[in-house]
Amino acid sequence: MQSKSQRFAPKIFLYPRIRKTPFYEAHKKAGVKAYSVYNHMYHPRYYGDMYEEYEKVVSSVTLWDVSVERQVEITGPDAFKFTDYITPRDLSKVKIGQCRYVAICTEDGGMINDPVLLRLGENKFWLSVSDSDVLLWAKGVAVNSGMNVKIHEPDVSPVQIQGPKSPWVVKDLVGDKVLDLGYYTCVPAQVKGMDVVVSRTGFTAELGYEIFLRDSSVGRNAVNLWEAILEAGRPYGIQVTGPTHIKALEAGILDYGCDMDLNTNPFEVGLGYLVDTNKNANYIGKAALKRIKAEGIKRKLVGLEIGGAPTYEWNWDSGVENPPGWDTGDRWPVTQKGKKAGYLTKAYFSPKLKKNIGRAMVSLEYSKEETELTLETPAGPRTAKVVSFYFTDPKKAIAKANVRAMVLAK
pLDDT at 243: 94
pLDDT at 5: 54
- Whole-prediction pTM value? 0.94
Q: What is the pLDDT of residues 57-75, one digit of tens each?
A: 999 999 999 999 999 999 9
Domain borders along the chain are: 71-152, 249-387
pLDDT at 50: 87
pLDDT at 223: 96
Q: Do the first three CATH levels of 71-152 and 249-387 match, i.e. the same topology?
A: no
Q: Looking at per-residue confidence, does 410 or 222 come out higher?
A: 222
Q: What is the pLDDT of residues 133-175, one digit of tens each?
A: 999 999 999 999 999 999 999 999 999 999 999 999 999 999 9
Q: What is the pLDDT of residues 290-348, one digit of tens each?
A: 999 999 999 999 999 999 988 877 755 544 445 555 545 578 999 999 999 999 999 99
pLDDT at 309: 86
Q: Looking at per-residue confidence, does 123 or 321 come out higher?
A: 123
Look at the domain 71-152 and name its fold: Alpha-Beta Plaits (3.30.70)
pLDDT at 269: 98
Is the pLDDT at 11 greater than 80, yes or no?
A: no
Q: On the CB side of 242, how many CA atoms lie within 13 Å of its CA?
A: 22
Is the pLDDT at 211 greater than 80, yes or no?
A: yes
Q: What's the mean pLDDT when you consider all of the chain?
A: 93
CB 344 within 8 A of CB 323: no
pLDDT at 323: 55
CB 348 within 8 A of CB 5: no
Q: How far is CA 235 from the centre of its chain?
A: 28
Architecture of the domain made up of 249-387: 2-Layer Sandwich (3.30)
Is the pLDDT at 34 greater than 80, yes or no?
A: yes
